[in-house]
Structure 1
Amino acid sequence: MSAPDNPFKIIIIGGGIAGLTLANMLEKFEIDYILLEAHDNIAPAVGASIGLFPNGLLILDQIGCYEPVRAVAQSGTVKYAHMRHPDGSSVSCIEDFFGHLERRHGYEMLFFDRQWLLQVLFDQLRHKDRVVLDSHVETIQQFGDSIRVRTKAGKTYTGSIAVGADGIHSTVRHEMRRLAHLSDDPESFPSEEEEDTVPCYYQCSFGIAKDVDNWPERNQCFTSGDGHCFLVASGPDNRVYWFMFKRLPKVKYGKDIPRYTKEDEEVFVQKYGHVPITEDLTFGKLFERRISSTLTPLHEVVFKKWFLGRIILMGDSIHKSNPIGGMGGNGAIETAAAFVNFLLRARNNRPNGLRGLTTVEIEAISRQTQNERYERAKYILKMGHEIQALFASEKPLLTKFAFGTVLPLSGLEHHLSQMGSRLLGGPKLDFLPVPPKPRAVPYDHELPAKPVRGWPLAVIKTLFSVGMGLSLAYPFQAPLLLNTRLQGIYTLSQIISPLLTYTIEGHRVGNQGTLLALPSLFVAGIEAPRVGMSKTAPIHGMVAAFQSFTVPPGRRVNIHIARALVPALSLGYVIPTLFAFRSKSTWKTGLMTGTPLLVPVLTTVLSAVFRWWQNKSNGHVDAESEDFQRYKKDDVPVLRTAYSFAVVSQAVVHAALVAHAYVCLKATPFELATLPFSLTGTVGVLGETAYSILNLRLLGYVTGWQAARVALLSAGGQVVLGPGATMAGVWWWREEVIAGFMKERT
């Protein structure tokens, strides 16, 4: 046991991104530390670049480092993001890619020299005297109440916790294995055999060039190839940062992973210098303009255990992924934040604060940190490996399909959402405010509930699809309570909501490039004799479960489309159906004359008319790019009007027929409750309505209790308002919930 008055101090071993970021965090909370860096320079020129994404920049912003980093990185260096064929020709291009990142996540991506970041992080420290250079750690010893670190220069430092942030070839990790082997419990830390299982699939040439001929300004590109690929990006001061990934002939493990010399690099460049990056630039021509460069193997690993006693590891020493995913430095920042969060919770829960922390308490903090970060680190590792495999054509047919079909057909929102998905799950510093930057996509830590992802989400979607599939094979329909004519009126009235929602979903920016973007296909199915609602509703539900948008910007409907919905519904369906009701012998005309199909058609036509009229009236087109309209919520009030139109119109018909059945047909309350289930396709409509509620919980946008409450109200709404009105009401609620997470610019 340690004495309660024993001063608390953290020894940080390694002055890279993880170590310097942690030092800045500790200073924010007045926690004593010392940082030991092996180099004689805190920001050595090692030829590397760094890409900081919004998840890392948010944390840096919390500790006051974002603006200095942004100034050094000279934001705005990339405008065009290309994906390219092996010959360098462009497959797709996202214009103002970094601008989209900032609007979506509050921060753009910053690509700049790694040593500049290290210098900024060091400059922000108040206690620079706590950073000791030229301090290569040799041994670590643990005692009951402290830990002692000895350097090769013979100096000794004593503290409460040692944090190893010294890279993939970690001396600290080696010492942890040694200490475990000498302890009473040798299995308390994985043996040396774990090192032998670390794989290396690729070698990588990376570096910095300047004033490169034929490099397009303000560009970033991923160029695919056969067993190789490139990531190349513009930087400040006319710099160009490159990564050239080449798959090894055979996977190397552990001690067999080579370390390359400058002679190896020369051979590498001679062999692959002819390979195109763009149509006008080869790797060799880029390399000729280099400022610095390195050839290195790429380890890919998340180690099984991150701590032992009073020692915990961070950064590359515990999780190292392929740099093509851009999450290495950002992951180090995330782990430092998670560690500080749990450290501060321990401080706040103890009468003596951090003084006298026992080894058991320190291990609890370390265990919580690993539990918080382990699965996300594994996800980032898997994601980077899969991106690398795709661009290097490890599975040629898959790469050909992705570049030949998926990328050209997928909408912009799909690309942005896929890229952004890996940014959302990181932590923040819980005891510092989050800067109030406008953004359209919430981080997980801003949501009321934890999102469901991975295999649990896949299982839920599969079970839902199985249920919808069973409704296709075994359609359910309650006994008819009304006569044929009244049943027809009821059926036609309740089709308003499917027509409205299918049309809305078909025009959401996040559904472009999916089957949902073909509303006419589903509307045609409604009126097709052998298809109808009984098959269309379940199919639409299944497609929506797997293809619908997943973040708020994908929700948006073009304002002109939104304004066209009620007129299109009225002119294309409601009015013709009302006229059809006037004749007892032709009540089916509203469904059989094809008027439902007019709704999506008229929506498109009328929206074009509204757009033309607005442009003519204003005398100019909206100055903001059409692609950036997705970050507005001006469509929400207009959609609200459309939903209210559907709710009221369908609820009135439902109430009138319920009253008629009760008064004239003497129906019992139980019979009246079954009326909504007498509709053809009711299972599909109810299923999609229920899943739309559940999906908000899966996304984390509502709590389980909120979802359950709306589900109960929805169940009651089937009887009180009818299925059509209830469906429109749920969609109305869903619209408001999703839009509520978008923080617009003022």
Structure 2
Amino acid sequence: MKQSAMAANGKRDSFRVIIVGGSVAGLTLALSLERAGIDYLVLEARDQISPQVGASIGIFSNGARILDQLGIYDSIEQHTDPPIWHDMLTGEGTLVQKVDSLRLMQIRTGYPVAFLERRQVLQLLYDHFPNRSKILTGKRVLGVDHLNRGVRVHCDDGSDFTGDIVAGADGVHSQIRQAMWQHAESHNALKHLKRDRQAMFAEYRCLFGISSAVPGLAEKTQYRTFNKDWSFLVVVGKDCQCFWFVFEKLDKVYRPPNMPSYNKDTDQNEFVKQFMARYVAQTVTFGALWQRRTAATLTVLEEAQYTHWTYDRIVCLGDAIHKMTPNIGQGGNWAIESAAALTNKLNKLLMRTKGRPVADDIRAALKDFEQSRHARTKEVCETAGFATRLEAFATLAHRLMSMYVVPYAGDMLVDVHCQAVAGAPKLDFLPPPEKSLRDGTVFQTARFVEPGDNPAWRALRALPLLATCLLNYQVLGSAAAAVVTQMDGAADRRSLAALMTDLAALQTVGMVETVRRGNNFTLAALWPVFALVGHWKGLLGYAAPVYFFVHYVQCSPDRFAAPDNRLVPRHYAKTILAAVAVGYILPAASLLFADRTHPRVFERVWQVCPLITALVHRAFASAIPNTTATERVQNPYADMRYLRLAYAAGVFISGATYCYLAITSKWYTHTFWSDALQLWQAYRGLAVPAEVSRGQLIRYHHLITFGSSLLWELLHFRDLRRAGRLNTSYLKVAGVLFGTAMLMGPGAAMALAWAWREEVLARKARWDTEAEKRR
């Protein structure tokens, strides 16, 4: 055992990575390699590792988790006072929105947004190296020679260094990227090289800097000011130190070699004149920040997404290969991600290789790194560019979205951010940090996402629901359009009573999904629309399966992995039962028991029941204080007692009606289930059963609606099992559903199953290792 370990160490010692650039990307890569036991050497062109240039950096959870694995995150926290509040303002200083979205991001990810000086991060990284002799300053790289078994790097002081690969972490004007292109051209390789040479452009410029405390700028607050062709970003950090950015659109789009450059004094002073009286907060102008500045730099904002990250033994990372605008604060975090991803690939290469890796294996590992990062990086670069243009009102659409969509989108931007960071890489050979595995964090719940479970596969699994809808139309057509208001005798009324009480249970479930936080901006929140169409056109036998289909496609378990996304706002949860009683059950009762001399009145009331219920629900909820802002952070389970009551009421009403009819009308259950068999036979023959009574049509639609609902629920339970959230077998789940349907009716079974799912989603997520075996 000891000999094999020594052999492995020897193999790793003989493999060396030359890292060009002591940047965040370069030092993170070096420290990651250090932890993996892989030899490295860092060459930094400047004379010091952490110069003061006025730059700041926001460490988000995707970068924080990796830094936590490396053991430096606790030190970073000591230099920060994370912001909680986010103020959005117009160019005139009018407050558009004040939200605690940054606090919610911390709850969901386990890490706050930590803002500090970039030089502090560089120094902390440097301080954590056990052997700093491997980090050399004053080494400006001039070129790279390719040897038979490695590379040689030449510096401007005449020194040279050899290794197995060269990693270019030397920034946006990367010398290593140029060397890679030249080497590829000499071999007539890289088919998109011409496109890469033209990839960089600049449409905006930015003055960024740091100021001491400014009166009027509150601690723990981030300020964003939006305006035509310019915007501000100010983050208040520890000891009220202010990190700020002034973005301005250039007169045209620039490309190398014609990029603007700026003089530190003359150009900066001229630039700030137009901004001195503009507001960065409601009562604070930029002039107050400028007067208290400790450092500032004016630069163009280069943007570039390169196709080729590697060729032969050269690889690039960080700004050298993916340069984005800083509006979403992900440039540094993406550099940290890429450093971790590259280390993972090199570590795996050395783990599976006997002896020193050959050139082909090295090239394959570097290409694998490139391919693993492409799609994710393309998405974040586009998002960053979009944010820059959104905040500067680049087009009318950007302006409308900034002022009239974003302020009313709730926590949608937090959802988007958390979805992005959930897929972030970590150092696979080090244990995940404790912070990242707290219950409900995106890194912990990301493990509950079934690999490859995209909307297309979900739609394919749910196709039987759409097929049910089409079969219904072919078998039954529109025969039941007016059947509800044309009942003949007590038998038909009993069938109608059973249907309506079951629909009350379904309406309860539908209203829950309408107001659930995680369903915002999805079709799943449009249950009243589907229900209204179903009622208007002749019951829900057509509309319900379509709703179940779109709900299943859009509502995967990971959508509700964050506890606050499962949450139903308490003022809605408390009033669901009352809203269904007033808006649905009372009209249904009037249809059953009221005077039948004016059937059209009752028909119209019945047809708009879903709309009435939704409006009543909104009215009732508006009378109760909305505590969602607090509960989504502090108590995301505040709705459970009310949801349990609502589901229990649905089970009781449906089950009691079914049992009453079964006891008082011996023929009812026999007829109900024989109709189910007859309907199945009709499906097989695609023909309407002969001599169908109105009561039978009601029961057919009853069976269609709730049969599809049970299939819908089985699909959701399948997801919970595959994700490791539920250990109960498929057979037991199906047994409970169909057993309850036989004993208490399909409506009670549907409500009971949805209550079960609610409990599973609300239960604190625990990773089930057996879930991996089921995948």
Shorter-chain TM band? 0.7 to 0.9
- Cα distance, 1:699 vs. partner? 11
Q: 1:626 aligns with which of 614, 630, 635?
A: 630
Q: 1:29 aligns with which of 32, 36, 41?
A: 36
Q: Secondary structure at the match of 2:442?
A: coil
- Cα distance, 1:334 vs. partner? 0.8
Matched, 1:203 2:214: no
Matched, 1:134 2:138: yes
Alignment correspondent of 1:89: 94
2:505–2:650 Cα contact (<8 Å) kept: yes
User: CA-to-partner distance for each residue in 1:5-47, whole Å, 9 max, x for gaps?
Assistant: 9811221111111111112212222222111111111111111
Distance 1:491 1:670 in 2: 18
Alignment correspondent of 2:565: 554
Q: 1:327 aligns with which of 320, 330, 335?
A: 330
- Cα distance, 1:669 vs. partner? 6.7
- Cα distance, 1:317 vs. partner? 0.7
Distance 1:50 1:531 in 2: 59
2:12–2:39 Cα contact (<8 Å) kept: no
| Higher mean C-alpha deviation, range 460-469 or range 279-288 | 460-469
| Higher mean C-alpha deviation, range 503-512 or range 488-497 | 503-512
Alignment correspondent of 1:670: 677
Alignment correspondent of 2:723: 702
| Higher mean C-alpha deviation, range 242-251 or range 455-464 | 455-464
Matched, 1:280 2:283: yes
- Cα distance, 1:423 vs. partner? 2.2
1:701–1:738 Cα contact (<8 Å) kept: no
Distance 2:673 2:448 in 1: 49
Distance 2:753 2:461 in 1: 19
User: CA-to-partner distance for each residue in 1:523-564, whole Å, 9 max, x for gaps?
Assistant: 77776x567546864786698689979343221124575466
Distance 1:512 1:193 in 2: 40
Q: In 2 relative to 1, CA 43–199 (structure 1 residues): closer, same or farther, beyond 3 Å? A: same
Q: One-letter code of the match for 1:388? A: T
Alignment correspondent of 2:78: 71
Q: Secondary structure at the match of 2:357?
A: coil
Distance 1:638 1:191 in 2: 61
- Cα distance, 1:212 vs. partner? 2.7
Distance 1:520 1:156 in 2: 71
Question: Which consecutive unaligned segments of at least 5 residues does structure 2 have?
Answer: 1-9, 682-695, 768-775
Question: Which consecutive unaligned segments of at least 5 residues does structure 1 have?
Answer: 613-620
Q: One-letter code of the match for 1:422? A: A
1:472–1:538 Cα contact (<8 Å) kept: no
Alignment correspondent of 2:61: 54
- Cα distance, 1:682 vs. partner? 7.5
Distance 2:232 2:464 in 1: 40
1:502–1:522 Cα contact (<8 Å) kept: no
Q: One-letter code of the match for 2:723? A: V
User: CA-to-partner distance for each residue in 1:326-379, whole Å, 9 max, x for gaps?
Assistant: 1101101111111122222223323x3xx4011111112112211211101000
User: CA-to-partner distance for each residue in 1:302-338, whole Å, 9 max, x for gaps?
Assistant: 2111111222111111111111011101101111111
User: CA-to-partner distance for each residue in 1:562-599, whole Å, 9 max, x for gaps?
Assistant: 4665677678766996898789989x989968987887
Equivalenced residues, count: 720
Alignment correspondent of 1:295: 298
- Cα distance, 1:407 vs. partner? 3.5
Alignment correspondent of 1:231: 233
Identity, in percent, stands at: 27
Q: In 2 relative to 1, CA 739–434 (structure 1 residues): closer, same or farther, beyond 3 Å? A: farther
1:673–1:719 Cα contact (<8 Å) kept: no
Q: Secondary structure at the match of 1:15?
A: coil
Distance 1:524 1:275 in 2: 50
2:496–2:698 Cα contact (<8 Å) kept: no
2:349–2:362 Cα contact (<8 Å) kept: no
1:697–1:703 Cα contact (<8 Å) kept: no
Distance 1:308 1:672 in 2: 64
User: CA-to-partner distance for each residue in 1:118-162, whole Å, 9 max, x for gaps?
Assistant: 111111111112111111111212223222212111112122222
- Cα distance, 1:225 vs. partner? 0.9
Alignment correspondent of 1:162: 166
Q: In 2 relative to 1, CA 282–369 (structure 1 residues): closer, same or farther, beyond 3 Å? A: same
- Cα distance, 1:90 vs. partner? 1.1
Distance 1:628 1:664 in 2: 48
| Higher mean C-alpha deviation, range 44-53 or range 266-275 | 266-275
Q: One-letter code of the match for 1:121? A: L
Q: 2:188 aligns with which of 179, 186, 189?
A: 186
Matched, 1:146 2:150: yes
Q: In 2 relative to 1, CA 607–389 (structure 1 residues): closer, same or farther, beyond 3 Å? A: closer
Distance 1:313 1:684 in 2: 57
Q: One-letter code of the match for 1:487? A: S
User: CA-to-partner distance for each residue in 1:422-469, whole Å, 9 max, x for gaps?
Assistant: 32221122222222333534237523423666x969998999999999
| Higher mean C-alpha deviation, range 653-662 or range 27-36 | 653-662
1:477–1:677 Cα contact (<8 Å) kept: no
User: CA-to-partner distance for each residue in 1:37-95, whole Å, 9 max, x for gaps?
Assistant: 1111111111101011111111111121110111122x23x232111112121111113
Alignment correspondent of 1:446: 447
- 1:511-522 to 2 correspondence within 5 Å? 511=519
Alignment correspondent of 1:617: none
- Cα distance, 1:382 vs. partner? 0.9
Alignment correspondent of 2:754: 731
Alignment correspondent of 1:337: 340
User: CA-to-partner distance for each residue in 1:387-437, whole Å, 9 max, x for gaps?
Assistant: 1121111112x24432443244333x3343234333222112222222233
Alignment correspondent of 2:5: none
Distance 1:337 1:245 in 2: 30
- 1:475-494 to 2 correspondence within 5 Å? 484-494=492-502
Q: Secondary structure at the match of 2:153?
A: strand
Alignment correspondent of 1:430: 428
Matched, 1:359 2:366: no
Alignment correspondent of 2:508: 500
Alignment correspondent of 1:347: 350
Distance 1:157 1:48 in 2: 30
Q: In 2 relative to 1, CA 400–70 (structure 1 residues): closer, same or farther, beyond 3 Å? A: same
Q: In 2 relative to 1, CA 376–681 (structure 1 residues): closer, same or farther, beyond 3 Å? A: farther
- Cα distance, 1:605 vs. partner? 8.9
1:215–1:281 Cα contact (<8 Å) kept: yes
TM-score, length-normalised on structure 2? 0.79
Distance 1:541 1:269 in 2: 56
Q: Secondary structure at the match of 1:40?
A: coil
Q: In 2 relative to 1, CA 166–664 (structure 1 residues): closer, same or farther, beyond 3 Å? A: closer
- Cα distance, 1:520 vs. partner? 7.3
- Cα distance, 1:235 vs. partner? 1.7
1:441–1:742 Cα contact (<8 Å) kept: no
2:478–2:538 Cα contact (<8 Å) kept: no
Q: In 2 relative to 1, CA 676–699 (structure 1 residues): closer, same or farther, beyond 3 Å? A: farther
Distance 1:250 1:464 in 2: 54
2:43–2:136 Cα contact (<8 Å) kept: yes
2:150–2:162 Cα contact (<8 Å) kept: yes
Q: In 2 relative to 1, CA 471–80 (structure 1 residues): closer, same or farther, beyond 3 Å? A: farther
Q: In 2 relative to 1, CA 266–706 (structure 1 residues): closer, same or farther, beyond 3 Å? A: farther
Alignment correspondent of 1:615: none
Q: In 2 relative to 1, CA 604–664 (structure 1 residues): closer, same or farther, beyond 3 Å? A: closer
1:451–1:698 Cα contact (<8 Å) kept: no
Distance 1:234 1:666 in 2: 67
Q: In 2 relative to 1, CA 69–688 (structure 1 residues): closer, same or farther, beyond 3 Å? A: farther
- 1:213-228 to 2 correspondence within 5 Å? 213-228=215-230
Alignment correspondent of 2:404: 405
TM-score, length-normalised on structure 1? 0.82
Distance 2:147 2:369 in 1: 22
